[in-house]
Every structure is written in C-alpha cells, then in structure tokens.
C-alpha cells in the first residue's frame, strides 16, 4: 500500500518501487524501470549494457514538508548510433535532468504564473535551475506537438521587442486568429525571419494569406520570397508613429529656433494697466509636446488652449499638427477606394508643405502606400502582437536574472504560445 502511494506521489508510472526510507528531512524512494532491457535516451532503441553507474537521485514532488527523491543506479548502454549513454528512465525527461517529470511540470507551471524567485523559494531549488527546467519542458512539449503550432497559419503578425537594455531584441511571430506566439528567436533582421520561414516549410508558408508588420524592408523582402501568396499590410500604429516622430522632430526644431531668437525688449518696470507683457517666442513652444502628439479627444482643457494659441500663429508647427491629424484620418476610411483617395490627398499636401520632416515622410509613405492601403482594406493591424509584447515584457520582468537567452525564450513560449504546461496529474 505504502509503495503504491509513493509510486503515485512521485509520478513513477512505468517503474517498480522497491523500498522507501526516510533520511533526515527527505523521503528516499528506491525504484527501477519496469522494463528490464535498457534503452538509449536519444532514440529509445534497446541496447546492450555497457556498465552500471553508482546510485543517483532525482528530485520528485515534495511530500508535505519533506523532500522526496527517487533513487536508482542507472545502466550505461552502448547505442550503435549514439554511442555510450546513460539509459533512459521513465520518470525523467533526459539523462541530464536531476528532476522527475512531475517536478519539472510543476516548476514550469509556476514559472508561468509568478516570479522566478517565488518559484525558487516554493520549490526549494536554486534560482539558476528554474530556467533550465523551463527550457526542457518547452522542448518536450514542442517535440510532442510535432510542430503543430505552425499548422493552419493564415494571418500572422511579425514584430521585434527588446528583452534587455543595450538594444537586445527578439523577433516574435503571432497568430492573429489565436492570439498566441507561434515562434520567437533572439535577435532581429532578415536572418531570423529566414529561420522562421525554414521551420514553417514551403507548404505551410504558401498557405499564409496576410502578414502584418512595421514596414521594415527586410520583412517585405522575405515575405515576397518565402510567402508568395501573402499580402503584406503595414500596421497602422507603426505608420502613424512615423508621422508623430516627424511632428516631434519639427517641435524640437521650433524649440531650438525659439530659444535662439532674440527676446523682445520691454521697458523697465511692470506693464501698465491693460498692457500685456511682450510674448516670449520660446514660451509659445514650451509644453507643446503632449498636446501635439495626443489625440484631440484626449486633450485636457489646458492642452486645448495651448493648441489654440499655436493655431492663431499659423506656424509650420501648426501645419505639421494638421498633417498628423489628416494622416490619422486616412485610417478611418470605410473602403479601399476611400483610403486610396485620402492617402493620395495627404501625399499631395505633405510633399508640397515645405516642411522638411514631412516632405521626407511623404517619400517613405509613398513607398509603403500599398501596404498601408492593404491594412485598411483588410482591417488588420499588429494590435494582437503589441498585446503579446506586453505579456512578454511582464514575463521578462518576472524572470529577472535569466542570463541564458534560450531559457528566456522558452519561458516566453510557455507563457504566450499553445505550449502551455499543465500541473502533474491534471493533464486533462
């Protein structure tokens, strides 16, 4: 009876419990594989025994306040293909792991729900260990899925997000239909997207219909070469950000010009009754950053008054603000024809505005015009990708201390992909 309870509690399916003993604050369960013929841990082939190693222990799920270990002296086998290796045991994922499957599953599930320091304290393992466990569980789930997370992709979003200071980026691919991460990798650029296309394969790549991205040229090139049937749509948020960046650059230039302009002279003493103090050119530009970049419906009363004062001057900065709002209005078009017409009007206005920032922007928008119109016609954006990026940021903060980038990517996949770990005994 006690052996059956220990077998169930330690997750020893496919094993035989030989004895149970207590050593200090630990329960030691001595076990062996039910199948006597040792197998290669890589290919699973039955192999001849090479020698026997000393007894070793695998950490299993705790029994209350007591730590539980599975003890066994494994055999080394001689595999014709993979050489001499330690035999596979049914309760562990690999020969390199010192933990049972149930223990690793619980650690991975907790890592998806709370911080790594909390997991480390609760499970009584070193904080370096949590990352390695996440990597093994993610690899195991991916192998069992057989690449199914890439099956049936029709609409995908591609973006990069930083995972560390110093311009350290990771490339993320999200399925628009499920809202899940289907692929991620360290770095960003053509090489990373080519690696995704290689893993996707020609058949599945040919089934992709829509790709949303930020308009980077390397994304457009790879999509055109490797996903021939896909329509590339420029994410509206990124397109509008081009315009806000141009407007903010214009604001900074206006601020520098106002600071360099001579201040108006005034007579000594206070202004007389009904006499206004001469306006300071720099004072008119100061504090305009947020009023210029915010949507009109989100302005406070003070910010609206600041824009009203800027409107009365009719400067290039005010015209830049109108150009920004006109560009935003393009994305509210109800049809593809309206979008094309609105974008054409904006391009005509921007290229003749005599504002260097918007003249340069008009050239960029003209090159990306088809992708912008396509996003409006299809009604797609990278909103889901940005939502997933927020989840990734949270995961990175909670995983503070993950020095191994591969372990970090594994945690992202466990949290944001279909490869969700389950608690031991609750797989259903």
The 8-class DSSP code of residue 355 comes to -
Q: Which residues contact 113 (CB under 8 A, 6 or more apart)?
A: none
pLDDT band at 266 (very low <50, low <70, confident <90, very high): low
* Contact indicator for 317, 285 with CB cutoff of 8 Å: yes
Closest Cα partner for 17 from 28, 31, 34, 36? Answer: 31
* Contact indicator for 203, 183 with CB cutoff of 8 Å: no
Strand positions, DSSP E, 139-197: 155-164, 168-175, 180-186
pLDDT for 263: 59
Using the 3D structure, point to which of 56, 74, 98 is the last residue of a domain.
98
pLDDT, one tens digit per residue, over 349-358 is: 999 999 999 9
pLDDT for 400: 66
Residue 268 maps to a domain: no
Do 125 and 94 lie in one domain? The reply is: no
pLDDT at 4 over 90: no
Do 308 and 184 lie in one domain? The reply is: no
Question: Which residues are registered as beta bridge partners of 30?
Answer: 19, 71
* Contact indicator for 162, 169 with CB cutoff of 8 Å: yes
Q: What is the dihedral of CA 30, 34, 35, 38, to 10 degrees?
A: -20
Do 353 and 247 lie in one domain? The reply is: yes
pLDDT band at 211 (very low <50, low <70, confident <90, very high): very high
pLDDT at 314 over 90: no
Q: How far apart are CA 347 and CA 319, in angstroms?
A: 14
Lowest-pLDDT choice from 89-93, 212-216, 284-288 = 284-288
Domain of residue 17 covers: 1-98
DSSP 375-399: HHHHT--SHHHHHHHHHHHHHHHHT
Question: Which residues are registered as beta bridge partners of 175?
Answer: 156, 180
Residue 275 maps to a domain: no
Q: What are the Cα distances from residue 402, in Å, to 182, 232, 389?
A: 21, 35, 18
Residue 264 maps to a domain: no
Do 395 and 350 lie in one domain? The reply is: no
pLDDT, one tens digit per residue, over 95-147 is: 778 999 999 999 999 998 888 888 989 999 988 888 889 999 998 898 888 77
pLDDT band at 289 (very low <50, low <70, confident <90, very high): confident
Lowest-pLDDT choice from 100-104, 238-242, 407-411 = 407-411
Q: Which residues contact 23 (CB under 8 A, 6 or more apart)?
A: none
pLDDT band at 39 (very low <50, low <70, confident <90, very high): confident
DSSP 77-99: EEETTTEEEEPP-TTSS-TT--B
284: tokens are 């008119």
Q: How far apart are CA 381 and CA 388, in angstroms?
A: 13
pLDDT for 276: 54
Q: Which residues contact 249 (CB under 8 A, 6 or more apart)?
A: 357
Do 241 and 231 lie in one domain? The reply is: no
- Could you tell me the strand order of the sheet in which 26-33 lies? 15-23, 26-33, 66-72, 56-63
Using the 3D structure, point to which of 55, 81, 98 is the last residue of a domain.
98
111: tokens are 């890592």
pLDDT band at 1 (very low <50, low <70, confident <90, very high): low
Do 208 and 292 lie in one domain? The reply is: no
Residues 340, 345, 350, 351, CA torsion sign = positive
Do 63 and 10 lie in one domain? The reply is: yes
Do 335 and 352 lie in one domain? The reply is: yes
């Amino acid at each position: 009876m006690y052996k059956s309870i220990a077998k169930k509690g330690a997750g020893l399916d496919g094993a035989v419990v030989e004895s149970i003993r207590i050593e200090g604050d630990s329960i030691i369960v001595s076990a062996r594989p039910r199948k006597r013929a040792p197998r290669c841990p890589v290919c699973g082939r039955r192999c001849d025994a090479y020698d026997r190693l000393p007894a070793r222990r695998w950490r299993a799920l705790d029994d209350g306040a007591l730590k539980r270990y599975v003890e066994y002296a494994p055999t080394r086998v001689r595999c014709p293909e993979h050489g001499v290796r330690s035999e596979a045991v049914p309760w562990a994922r690999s020969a390199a792991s010192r933990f049972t499957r149930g223990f690793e599953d619980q650690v991975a599930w907790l890592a998806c729900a709370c911080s790594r320091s909390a997991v480390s304290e609760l499970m009584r393992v070193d904080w370096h260990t949590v990352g390695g466990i996440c990597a093994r569980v993610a690899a195991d789930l991916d192998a069992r899925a057989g690449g199914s997370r890439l099956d049936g992709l029709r609409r995908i979003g591609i973006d990069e997000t930083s995972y560390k200071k110093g311009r350290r980026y990771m490339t993320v691919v999200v399925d628009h239909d499920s809202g899940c991460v289907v692929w991620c990798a360290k770095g960003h650029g053509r090489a990373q997207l080519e690696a995704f296309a290689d893993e996707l394969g020609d058949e599945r790549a040919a089934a992709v219909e829509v790709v949303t991205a930020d308009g980077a040229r390397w994304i457009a090139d790879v999509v055109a070469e490797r996903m021939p049937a896909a329509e590339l749509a420029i994410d509206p948020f990124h397109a509008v950000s081009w315009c806000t960046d141009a407007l903010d650059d214009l604001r900074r230039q206006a601020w520098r010009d106002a600071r360099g302009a001579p201040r108006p002279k005034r007579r000594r003493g206070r202004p007389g009754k009904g006499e206004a103090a001469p306006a300071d050119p720099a004072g008119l530009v100061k504090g305009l950053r947020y009023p210029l970049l915010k949507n009109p419906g989100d302005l406070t009363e003070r910010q609206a008054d600041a824009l009203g004062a800027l409107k009365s001057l009719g400067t290039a900065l005010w015209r830049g603000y109108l150009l920004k709002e006109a560009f935003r209005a393009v994305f509210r078009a109800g049809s593809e024809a309206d979008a094309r017409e609105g974008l054409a009007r904006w391009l005509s206005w921007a290229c003749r505005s005599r504002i260097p920032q918007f003249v340069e922007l008009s050239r960029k928008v003209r090159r990306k015009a088809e992708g912008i119109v396509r996003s409006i016609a299809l009604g797609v954006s990278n909103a889901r990708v940005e939502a997933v990026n927020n989840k990734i940021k949270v995961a990175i903060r909670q995983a503070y201390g993950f020095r191994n980038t591969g372990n970090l990517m594994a945690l992202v996949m466990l949290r944001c992909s279909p490869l969700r770990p389950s608690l031991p005994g609750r797989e259903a």
